[in-house]
Amino acid sequence: MSTPTLPEELWDIERLAEFLGASKRFVYRLTSERRIRYYRVAGSLRFDPDDVA
């Protein structure tokens, strides 16, 4: 089984919230509703900037 390739740059939840001009709580809600793609890296949520731009 091969390991999926991650994008070179991934944002954490704080960076994404800042970019969107929203709260971290709002970003967590987007992920729980599966309205935004995310990756789990070492147990933390990470986001590809190309997916939200």
Q: Which domain holds residue 28?
A: 13-47
CA 33 to chain centre: 13
- Would residue 6 count as lying in a domain? no
- Would residue 3 count as lying in a domain? no
- Would residue 53 count as lying in a domain? no
- Would residue 33 count as lying in a domain? yes
Residue 11 DSSP label = B
CA 41 to chain centre: 10
pLDDT band (50, 70, 90) for residue 8: confident
- Would residue 52 count as lying in a domain? no
pLDDT tens-place string over residues 20-40: 999 999 999 999 999 999 999
Q: How many domains does the chain have?
A: 1
Say how far apart CA 48 and CA 53 lie, in whole Å.
9
